[in-house]
């Protein structure tokens, strides 16, 4: 199959792909997603196939607005609407209780997979989306092309990040083509993602609400609306064998480039010195560092990439996955990476870097 690159002029075609039960590479402000009609179990099944994603890892649904929540969720706390008011459309996913199905809806699910979607069609989330959980992740993305497609298709779009499972998430249409070229009919090119790391996931089915994955909306921003927020241990440390994180996807080694990554945290200047003193200065050692230390570290033979200035964590988030992917195009055997502190979106950057490194972290 040849994968077609669509653009802003092909929105109708993009929406038709979704409505027709096919897969679409779709831009969001966080990362590109691999989208399908979230009410069509066959289309959703194809997402798992194309990504090589484990079946026990649920997908999130992308909706037009908070008005769509009650169609698919129940026991929705007031806090969900407060968060939506503040941060939607935007990089926030809320885990909510799935709406119980009526006897008629259960019958409908039994009599066959839902393929021919109509405007007044099913309002039921198939089990394949939630991996059988009684909760579902709901997100209202900000990217205008993505929003147009949701609006035109009039269905929630199920979309995991558009990478092959285990690879860094795609932040450009080109990245998506690398992973999904030949496997899906089309990718809608919406330019480079403006956030660059995936959405924040907050579980609102427990008290206090729990941060399952840090992302574009920061912990501090959530605390300002919710008060106390618990932070899932999977955010900051490796899960022990047999331990189950609340977001099933957090247990997999993720965001991983081919070469092992060593994360260096702490004072940025000391970190840069540490890397200079410990790297091999051959072509086998790559470095991802803050812009300030690029001249000092770029003197060896290996590839050196800048993550942006120490003080600009937003830029670091935007560049991170591209940097990890670029390292895969080299033959480095080890990657040294400088890491910001946990403040603001630094928590998300650090989380993705630590996961890429399998939590191999050096504190300086």
Sole binder of ligand TXA in the list 5, 133, 298, 362 (CB under 6 A): 133
Cβ distance to Mg ion smaller for residue 284 or 359: 359
Residue 89 engages ligand TXA in binding (rule: CB under 6 A): no
Cβ distance to Mg ion smaller for residue 213 or 319: 213
Cβ distance to ligand TXA smaller for residue 130 or 221: 130
Closest CB 216 distance from ligand TXA, rounded Å: 7
Considering only residues 18 through 47, tell me which ones interact with ligand TXA, judged by CB under 6 A.
Answer: 28, 30-31, 33
Contact stretch for ligand TXA (CB under 6 A) within 63-71, 89-97, 332-340, 342-350: 89-97
Residue 348 engages ligand TXA in binding (rule: CB under 6 A): no
**d(C-alpha 26, C-alpha 102), whole Å:** 32
Cβ distance to ligand TXA smaller for residue 155 or 161: 161
Q: SS3 for 285?
A: strand
Closest residue by Cα to residue 213 from 226, 202, 224: 202
Q: SS3 for 208?
A: coil
Residue in the shown chain whose Cβ atom is closest to Mg ion: 161
Closest residue by Cα to residue 271 from 356, 345, 337, 353: 337
Residue 247 engages ligand TXA in binding (rule: CB under 6 A): yes
Residue in the shown chain whose Cβ atom is closest to ligand TXA: 249
Residue 193 engages ligand TXA in binding (rule: CB under 6 A): no
**d(C-alpha 156, C-alpha 141), whole Å:** 11
Closest CB 201 distance from ligand TXA, rounded Å: 5
Residue 171 engages Mg ion in binding (rule: CB under 5 A): no
**CB within 8 Å of 132: residues ≥ 6 apart:** none
Q: How many residues bind ligand TXA (CB under 6 A)?
A: 30
* 137 binding partner (options Mg ion, ligand TXA, none; Cβ < 5 to 8 Å by kind): ligand TXA
Query: How many other C-beta atoms are found inside a 10 Å radius of the C-beta of residue 169?
Result: 26
* 263 binding partner (options ligand TXA, Mg ion, none; Cβ < 5 to 8 Å by kind): none
What sections of 116-183 are H helices per DSSP?
A: 127-130, 144-153, 173-180
| H/E element, 93 | strand 92-98
Binding mask 109-148 for Mg ion (x = CB under 5 A): ----------------------------------------
Q: What is the dihedral of CA 349, 354, 355, 357, to 10 degrees?
A: 130
Name the packing angle between helices 313-328 and 173-180 (round to 10°).
30
Whether the Cβ atoms of residue 127 and residue 45 lie closer than 8 Å to each other: no
| H/E element, 320 | helix 313-328
Sole binder of ligand TXA in the list 212, 289, 327, 349 (CB under 6 A): 212
Cβ distance to ligand TXA smaller for residue 57 or 330: 57
- Buried b / exposed e over 268-288, threshold 16 CB at 10 Å, is beebbbbbbeebeeeebbbbb
Residues that bind ligand TXA (CB under 6 A): 28, 30-31, 33, 57-60, 91, 93, 95, 130, 133, 135-137, 139, 141, 159-161, 198-199, 201, 212, 246-250
Per CB under 5 A, residues contacting Mg ion are 161
């Amino acid at each position: 199959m040849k994968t077609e690159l669509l653009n802003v002029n092909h929105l109708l075609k993009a929406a038709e792909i979704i409505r027709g039960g096919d897969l679409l590479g779709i831009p969001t402000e966080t990362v590109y997603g691999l989208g399908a009609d979230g009410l069509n179990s066959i289309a959703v099944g194809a997402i798992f196939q194309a990504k090589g994603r484990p079946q026990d890892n649920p997908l999130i649904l992308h909706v037009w607005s908070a008005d769509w929540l009650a169609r698919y969720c129940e026991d929705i706390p007031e806090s969900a609407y407060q968060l939506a008011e503040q941060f939607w459309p935007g990089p926030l996913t809320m885990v909510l209780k799935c709406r119980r199905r009526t006897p008629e809806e259960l019958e409908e699910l039994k009599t066959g997979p839902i393929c021919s979607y109509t405007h007044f069609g099913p309002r039921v989330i198939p089990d394949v989306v939630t991996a059988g959980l009684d909760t579902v992740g709901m997100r209202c993305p900000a990217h205008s092309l993505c929003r147009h497609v949701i609006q035109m298709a009039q269905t929630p779009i199920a979309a995991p990040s558009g990478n092959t499972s285990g690879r860094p998430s795609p932040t450009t249409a080109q990245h998506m083509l690398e992973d999904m070229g030949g496997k899906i009919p089309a990718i809608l090119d919406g330019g480079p993602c403006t956030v660059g790391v995936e959405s924040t996931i907050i579980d609102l089915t427990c008290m206090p609400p729990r941060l399952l994955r840090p992302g574009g909306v920061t912990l501090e921003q959530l605390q300002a609306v919710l008060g106390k927020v618990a932070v899932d241990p999977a955010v900051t440390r490796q899960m022990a064998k047999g331990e189950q994180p609340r977001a099933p996807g957090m247990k997999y080694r993720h965001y991983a480039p081919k070469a092992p990554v060593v994360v260096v945290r702490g004072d940025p200047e000391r970190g840069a010195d540490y890397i200079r003193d410990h790297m091999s200065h051959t072509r086998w050692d790559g470095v991802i560092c803050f812009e300030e230390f690029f001249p000092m570290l770029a003197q060896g033979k290996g590839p050196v990439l800048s993550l942006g200035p120490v003080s600009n964590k937003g830029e670091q988030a935007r560049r991170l996955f591209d940097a990890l992917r670029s390292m895969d195009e080299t033959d480095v055997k080890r990657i040294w990476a400088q890491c910001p502190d946990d403040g603001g979106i630094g928590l998300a950057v650090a989380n993705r870097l630590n996961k890429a490194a399998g939590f191999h972290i050096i504190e300086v």
